[in-house]
Amino acid sequence: MASMKNLLQKSIRQLTIFAFVVFALSVPSYFLLVDWIWLKELDENNKLIAQRIENEFNEQKISEETLAANIKFWNEIQPVSRIEYATKPLEKDSLYTATRQNIYESKESIERFRGLKTPIKINNHNYVLVVETNVEETEETVGYIAMVTLLFFLILVIGFWVLNRRLSKKLWAPFQDTLSKLKAFNLSSQNKISFLETDTTEFVELNETLDKLLENSIRMYKNQKEFTENASHELQTPLAVLKNKLDILLQSKDLTEKQYHIAEEMNKALIRSSRINKNLLLLSKIENSQFDSSETVDFGHLVLQTMENLEEHFKEKDISLISNIESEVKVKSNSVLTEVLINNLIINAIRHTSYGGAITVELSKSSFSVRNSGIEMLNPDLLFKRFSRMSVDNSGSGLGLSIVKEITKFQNWKVSYSFENNEHIFTIVF
């Protein structure tokens, strides 16, 4: 199962990822923007340089021979700029970017240069002036901007996390209060929950909805509980009357053999119906948490007592009983429910063990297990379901293992089933 994260962590994590993506995209955007601005400024600067050079040469008013010598000298001392004679003027300025070795660097250094090729007039003669300016400062500028942006990005993200942790405790306090009260809520207590007052609209709506839901649940719980108890109690009386009448009828000497067998079958069905009714009532009480589980029960004593009470059943099927019971095994539970659990597990083992089989009962400080001989594994999915049949034996109510399951759930124990070495094994872990 994946590790769990709370809602706030998920939201801030997504915001952090989004901010990082935006930052990553901003770096090339900064480079393109700064480079475009830098080249534009260099183009304007080169144009001004060209105008200044043209003006300076014209202001000297020198002869053609001197002009030629000055232009030659200019070209020698300005290796990245040059003035060339043109028979006809250029139609328009030409802008370009060149990459080459910087002649002012002694070591290998490939750099970019922004160039302007423009027509000028000196002494009314047409010339072409080429001016180039180093543009390597663009990368440095972008680098500095990226570092500053990264610094503010980290400050922003760290600030988000810190503020989120501080604000979330206050903003989500009503929600945490509601959650803790819902976890502690017990339907059997039938007490309404008083939620913390809040001015947050979403939490107010949540609490109002929960109030209505809990009110309906409590009302339905009361109705179901009353119906179950009334139905079970009301059924007990007619079942007891029918049982009494059948007992009288079975003692009558006027019955034929056929009538006696019919009455006997009716009596068995009635006994089973009465047992089912009592078990359903017990299940209802367990599910409604109507038992006190704060007693300290001597588990070993109850196991020995149950095996003693069922001794005739072992003898009837010639079952070998092996027991390994630790003394002084005390558990915090309900004595009535614990006795029912032990009785149901052992009765189930007896009922589903063939004649001459074996049953092993073991008790330790941490677990209780009942083993009985068998042929094949039972279906674990149906094992603890109500009225599910694992064999052709119909003498039981079909609720024994369901009651065991509910008792372990009520006591916060764990019940498990396994089949090993031709043995069915039911284990209760305290």
Q: How confident is the model at residue 346 (pLDDT cuts 50, 70, 90)?
A: very high
The pair phi, psi for residue 233, each rounded to 5°, is -65, -40
What's the pLDDT score for residue 280? 72
What's the pLDDT score for residue 32? 81
What's the pLDDT score for residue 1? 44
Per DSSP (E only), the strands in 212-348 are 295-298, 320-325, 330-333
Tokens matching residue 285: 């009480």
| 196: DSSP letter | P
Cβ neighbours for 225, distance < 8 A, ≥ 6 positions apart: 284, 288
- Rounded mean pLDDT of 254-267? 81
**Mean pLDDT computed over every residue of the chain:** 81
280 vs 62 pLDDT, higher one: 62
What's the pLDDT score for residue 136? 67
What's the pLDDT score for residue 370? 94
Tokens matching residue 295: 């007693």
Is there a contact between 373 and 335 (Cβ–Cβ < 8 Å)? Answer: no
The domain locations on the chain are 7-158, 202-287, 295-429
Of 265-279, 306-320, 335-349, 402-416, the poorest mean pLDDT is in: 265-279
What's the pLDDT score for residue 358? 92
Global confidence as pTM = 0.50
The CA–CA distances, whole Å, from 196 to 172, 246, 255, 343 equal: 11, 61, 73, 47
Q: How confident is the model at residue 417 (pLDDT cuts 50, 70, 90)?
A: very high
Topology of domain 7-158, CATH: Beta-Lactamase (3.30.450)
Q: Does pLDDT of 27 surpass 90?
A: no
CA nearest neighbour of 345 among 363, 326, 327, 330: 363
- Rounded mean pLDDT of 129-154? 78
14 vs 83 pLDDT, higher one: 83
**Axis crossing angle, helix 201-250 with helix 173-184, rounded to the nearest 10:** 10
27 vs 86 pLDDT, higher one: 86
What's the pLDDT score for residue 359? 93
- Rounded mean pLDDT of 311-330? 89
**Beta carbons within 10 angstroms of residue 399's beta carbon:** 21
Residue with tokens 């079942």: 239
Of 190-204, 294-308, 313-327, 410-424, the poorest mean pLDDT is in: 190-204
Burial of 122 (0-12, 13-18, 19+ CB in 10 A): buried
pLDDT in tens, 285-299: 777 667 777 788 899
What's the pLDDT score for residue 10? 65
170 vs 368 pLDDT, higher one: 368
* Residue 348 Cα to chain centre, angstroms: 40
What's the pLDDT score for residue 4? 57
Q: Cα separation of 369 and 210, whole Å?
A: 42
Q: Does pLDDT of 2 surpass 70?
A: no
What's the pLDDT score for residue 415? 92
What's the pLDDT score for residue 12? 72
Q: Cα separation of 153 and 17, whole Å?
A: 12
- Highest-scoring range by mean pLDDT, 66-75, 91-100, 273-282, 419-428: 419-428
Same CATH fold, 202-287 and 7-158? no
Q: Cα separation of 220 and 211, whole Å?
A: 14
| 188: DSSP letter | G
3-state secondary structure 212-262: HHHHHHHHHHHHHHHHHHHHHHHHHHHHHHHHHHHHHHHCCCCCCHHHHHH
Task: Say whether 324 sits in a helix, a strand or coil.
Answer: strand
CA nearest neighbour of 338 among 133, 316, 356, 346: 346
- The dihedral built from the CA positions of residue 223, 224, 230 and 234, taken in this order, carries a sign that is positive
Tokens matching residue 190: 């039938």
Concatenated DSSP letters of 118-181: EEEEETTEEEEEEEEEE-THHHHHHHHHHHHHHHHHHHHHHHHHHHHHHHHHHHTHHHHHHHHH
CATH number of 295-429: 3.30.565.10
Q: Does pLDDT of 366 surpass 80?
A: yes
Tell me the one-letter amino acid at 259: Q
Q: Does pLDDT of 9 surpass 80?
A: no
Q: Does pLDDT of 391 surpass 70?
A: no
Q: Does pLDDT of 426 surpass 70?
A: yes
Task: Say whether 395 sits in a helix, a strand or coil.
Answer: coil
CA nearest neighbour of 66 among 54, 77, 55, 74: 74
- Rounded mean pLDDT of 304-316? 90
Q: Cα separation of 97 and 321, whole Å?
A: 100
212 vs 110 pLDDT, higher one: 212
Which architecture does CATH list for 202-287? Orthogonal Bundle (1.10)
Q: Does pLDDT of 388 surpass 70?
A: no
Q: How confident is the model at residue 139 (pLDDT cuts 50, 70, 90)?
A: low
pLDDT in tens, 152-199: 888 887 887 787 777 777 777 888 888 888 888 876 666 778 888 888
- Rounded mean pLDDT of 76-84? 80
Of 114-128, 240-254, 305-319, 367-381, the poorest mean pLDDT is in: 240-254
| φ/ψ bin of 208: left (φ > 0), alpha (ψ from -120 to 50), beta (otherwise) | alpha
What's the pLDDT score for residue 393? 53
Q: How confident is the model at residue 151 (pLDDT cuts 50, 70, 90)?
A: confident
